[in-house]
Amino acid sequence: MPFNDYLQFYIGGGWVTPLATGTMDVIDPSTAQAFARISMGGPGDVDRAVAAARAAFTSFSMTTPRERQELLEGVLAAYEKRTEDLAQAISHEMGAPIGMARANQVGSGAAHLRTMIDTIKHYSFERLKGSTLIAKEPVGVVAMITPWNWPLNQIACKVAPALAAGCSMVLKPSEIAPISAMIFAEIMHEAGVPAGVFNMINGDGPTVGEALARHPDVDMVSITGSTRAGVLVAKAAADTVKRVHQELGGKSANIILDDADLKAAVQQGVHECFDNSGQSCNAPTRMLVPADRMDEAMEYARQAVKHLTVGPADQAEVDLGPVISKIQFDKIQTLIRTGLDEGAVLVAGGPGRPEGLSEGYFVRPTIFGRVMPGMTVAREEIFGPVLCIIGYSHEDRAVEIANDTPYGLAAYIQSGDLERARRLSRRLRVGNVHINYPDWDTGAPFGGFKQSGNGREYAEFGLDDFLEIKGVIGYGA
């Protein structure tokens, strides 16, 4: 991908020169070299973008659901025309293998747009309760802070419900994976989104993210990121009592029950954990297996990882690309060494880069066995291709281990008895439970319990969170 400058922001329906003067290189993690440059915004840029969104809200909030549905349909059509551009951007900015970037990364954004188009067709924005009208109205100006690991997934599952609700918005994508968001802004412009309804600025969290969270004319902040970032945004937003919608970290348990096909469950669990190079907040990173079958589970896991190929994201046959950055690479290496120091059994992988990959942020797919629940690698969100296999003595103990975490985003259950899995799902303190590795469902609510955040995304659950509820008493008298 040739080196390009992306030095403007999209504000008020057009591309403008930022008020702040700083710039930042965007690094391709497959090469550790810069391939693009962006401007870094400041508080003045935030003020300008929020003012544009506030001005646009008055009229856009009065549009009909049908008008907003047609707008979403136009966005989807424009998005689909830019599929390859988006895939190339994501592959270079965050290291997703190009096939995965096309099918999963870009495909996820399109899926959210389609789901929201279907949702708004059937959604009830008003109903009478006796003589009182119950109206669901747009929350207002929304600040959106999105992450680098699934850039378009998280942009689309915020922008789509915001548009459907009648909100205006300011998007701040991750500054280390911003190019797909720049293309997304071009898509919004081509689709004819009214001026000021969608605005996009680049910048870091402490400067632009915090200014958005504190801004008195922002009515809601929707953030996807680490729990640490979510806490900072919530604190910054508190003084203005705005809504804070968070999708944060996870350390998801994958409970393989004693009636499951152990080999199939373990080997698919390895692949599920290592998808996107382990850089998913809901990745099943803690595999719980019957303790008396630990040796079998470790051998099945070792066999599964032998067939995974790690390499540059532009190579079609690659299963795992690099992790996003040197900071992330160094963090993962430290945690792998900590796992060894604390006595976990190394099943596969380990410290360092895979053989033959001396440049770029490539991590050896690593599996630890005989992990104790209190070990660091079993407690911390590693956000890389590292799997912990933990033994349990009986089902109640598996539930205790699964729930013994500050996080509560997702959990996974593998069982040959569907009724047993259903009963177990009720005992897990998480926002999503996946039984026997189901297909991804954009109609399911997505979000977490505990320190994994609050609020929900996807379909009507996401739309609900971008709406206020108004009661008009006497409306039907």
Please give the positions annotated as active site.
247, 281
Cα separation, 378 vs 368, in Å, equals 10
Contact assessment for residue 388 and residue 371, using Cβ atoms and an 8 Å cutoff: yes
For residues 110, 112, 115 and 119, what is the CA-based torsion angle, rounded to 10 degrees?
-140
Amino acid at 170: V
Read off φ and ψ for residue 130, nearest 5 degrees: 70, -125
Bridge-based pairing state of the strands 253-256 and 345-348:
unpaired
Cβ(61)–Cβ(138) below 8 Å: yes
Q: Whose CA is closest to 332, among 254, 390, 396, 387?
A: 387
Structure tokens at 352: 């360092």
Contact criterion met (CB below 8 Å) for 231 and 387: no
Q: Rounded to an integer, what distance in angstroms lies between the CA atom of residue 333 and that of residue 274? A: 16
| Rounded distance between C-alpha atoms, residue 232 and residue 211, angstroms | 12
Radius of gyration of the chain (CA): 23
One-character DSSP codes across 48-100: HHHHHHHHHHHHHTTS-HHHHHHHHHHHHHHHHHTHHHHHHHHHHHH---HHH
Lookup result for tokens 């609700």: 165
